[in-house]
Amino acid sequence: MAAIPEDVFFATIPELNRRLTSHEFSAEDLARAFANRLEQLGPRYNALALPLPQQAIRRAQDVDKEIKRGRLRGPLQGIPYGVKDLISFKDKPTTWGAKPYAGQVFNYNATVVDKLDAVGAVLTGKLAMVELAGGGGYRFPSASLTGPGLNPWDRTRWSGGSSSGSAAAVAAGLVPYALGSETSGSIVTPACYCGVTALRPTYGLVSRHGAMALSWTLDKLGPFAHTAEECGLILQVIAGKDSKDPGSAGKSFYYTPQYSRPMKELKVGYAPVDFAERADASARPAFAAALSVLKDAGLQLVETKLPQFPYGPILATILGSEAGSIFEPLITSGKVDELADQAQIAGLKASLEIPAKDYLKAQRLRRLIQDAFSMLFAEVDALIAPGRSGPASKVDQRLDGASPAPAGTPDAPTGFQGMIPAGNLAGLPALVLPCGFADNLPVGLQVVGPPFSENTLLAIGREFQARTDWHKRHP
């Protein structure tokens, strides 16, 4: 086994691909190094659900034979990765982060795993998550079979939910990239807290077949990596039509940075209140500097208002109704009481009581939200806001403390505070970009666009990362 230099653990996918194809080291060397690192350091952050070293090494050996024969399958060939433990891997436990499902095994792979396998990617492990991806709502970060997700920048801080292990593993250099999921914030939040780049794709662009359902009409799978470019390379592989996912949009994605529009042609909407008043005081300098970088890049920043709807209650009604239906067997069997978080247990039980009329009304309002965003995106190409208002919370801090009035309520100031539930209700893609530090912890931006505008968002991300080095920082 060739010695793997330390810089490899934080190298980008294109860098690793070049070093593999130039035979600086083999795919097997790389797989062994990352598998060992994940197994040794993953528990330090409560990020590891299941190590897969033997499977990774066997797959990497096959990749080495392909490379030797000149059969090159693209930039992900031979690159290790991890998946959130709600994504099935054949004949291995898929626990959904929850005790009642600790022994659950599927006899098939999720579609995204098969797609990555087809290009020679090497799965080295399954990554920890909040139990049931947070279904029912949870009060503490400890709502997980593996314990609270610990932030690699400061283990007294949370790595974010529910894709806690995916974000932490990338931030700590345990995997070059990882897949997570979002129903309402579960990609955006951990990416911001852990200082990594991540992409929430348009609803339906990536198949969810073989992934745990929390909300059929909200769930999305997406990548965590170091750069926007890598997110584009990963999305190109995992996107596409899948008849096994009833929510599939039937569209493919091709990452085409060579055709991106000049930055000076793009109008980006933002709300100054989000950066100057709503952001934590310690984070405001970082957010202000990020806006300056975007202006210097030529983007036309246009003061914009988010359409006024009660996004939080609408999303909660839809998510709760669908989660109650999905997890009805768990709830009615009494096994729901095995979950780690009492608030989540109570929330799931209450979800069975949501009236059908409320669910239907929420879905009708959702249609109005989608129409309102269509009108908004006739005026701007994208929207930008803080991903979270500040850095990661303490790992023992309650998650249901007092907060400002939700956007859309009469006493709430205008701004993009409701961007996460709004974007998920409308099925919009979002790119998370590390943009600085507050209290020695990373903070991030979210750039949101109309459906299937991923290439535009990635172009903005690439330009921002060409002018900054926040994505190169690591714990």
pLDDT digits (tens, 9 = 90+) for 177-188: 999 999 999 999
Instruction: Note the pLDDT of residue 415.
Output: 81
- Contact (Cβ atoms closer than 8 angstroms) between residue 136 and residue 104: no
Tens-digit pLDDT profile for the chain (475 aa)? Answer: 678 899 999 999 999 999 999 999 999 999 999 999 999 999 999 999 999 999 999 999 999 999 999 999 999 999 999 999 999 999 999 999 999 999 999 999 999 999 999 999 999 999 999 999 999 999 999 999 999 999 999 999 999 999 999 999 999 999 999 999 999 999 999 999 999 999 999 999 999 999 999 999 999 999 999 999 999 999 999 999 999 999 999 999 999 999 999 999 999 999 999 999 999 999 999 999 999 999 999 999 999 999 999 999 999 999 999 999 999 999 999 999 999 999 999 999 999 999 999 999 999 999 999 999 999 999 999 999 999 999 999 999 999 763 333 333 334 446 898 999 999 999 999 999 999 999 999 999 999 999 999 999 999 999 999 999 999 999 9
Number of domains the chain contains: 1
Domain that holds residue 104: 1-475
Residue with tokens 């793997």: 4
Instruction: Note the pLDDT of residue 313.
Output: 97
Q: Which contiguous run of DSSP H or E holds residue 127? A: strand 122-127
How far is the CA of 383 from the CAs of 196, 389, 403, 406, in angstroms?
20, 16, 23, 19
Distance CA 120, CA 114 (A): 10
CA 80, 84, 87, 90 torsion-angle sign: positive
Distance CA 456, CA 263 (A): 10
Residue with tokens 């890049």: 297
Instruction: Note the pLDDT of residue 401.
Output: 64
Instruction: Note the pLDDT of residue 370.
Output: 98
> Which burial class, exposed, middle or buried, applies to 103 when counting CB atoms under 10 A from its CB (0-12, 13-18, 19+)?
exposed
Q: Which two tokens stand for residue 135?
A: 């279904």
Residue 313's CATH number:
3.90.1300.10
Task: Provide the strand spans (E) within 217-322.
Answer: 220-225, 267-270, 300-303
Residue 19 Cα to chain centre, angstroms: 27
Distance CA 444, CA 391 (A): 9
The DSSP secondary structure of 403-464, one letter per residue, reads -PPPTTSTTSPSSSTTHHHHHHHTT--EEEEEEEEETTEEEEEEEE-STT-HHHHHHHHHHH
Q: Which two tokens stand for residue 391?
A: 């850095």
Instruction: Note the pLDDT of residue 414.
Output: 61
Name every residue whose Cβ is closer than 8 Å to that of residue 397 and which is 6 or more positions away in sequence.
141, 158
Distance CA 384, CA 448 (A): 6
Radius of gyration in angstroms for the set of CA atoms belonging to the chain, rounded to a whole number: 21
Catalytic residue ranges = 84, 162, 186
Q: Is 120 left (phi over 0), alpha (psi -120 to 50) or beta?
A: left
Instruction: Note the pLDDT of residue 243.
Output: 98
Task: Provide the strand spans (E) within 143-262.
Answer: 150-151, 154-158, 178-182, 197-200, 220-225
Distance CA 164, CA 333 (A): 28
Instruction: Note the pLDDT of residue 112.
Output: 98
How far is the CA of 475 from the CAs of 9, 170, 436, in angstroms?
12, 11, 13
Q: Which contiguous run of DSSP H or E holds residue 330? A: helix 328-333
Question: What is the amino acid identity at position 189?
Answer: T
Instruction: Note the pLDDT of residue 159.
Output: 98
Q: Is 97 left (phi over 0), alpha (psi -120 to 50) or beta?
A: left
Instruction: Note the pLDDT of residue 205.
Output: 98
Distance CA 151, CA 246 (A): 35
> Residue 331 CB: number of other CB atoms within 10 A?
20
User: How many residues are listed for the chain in this entry?
Assistant: 475
Residue with tokens 């990882």: 178
Q: Which contiguous run of DSSP H or E holds residue 356? A: helix 356-376
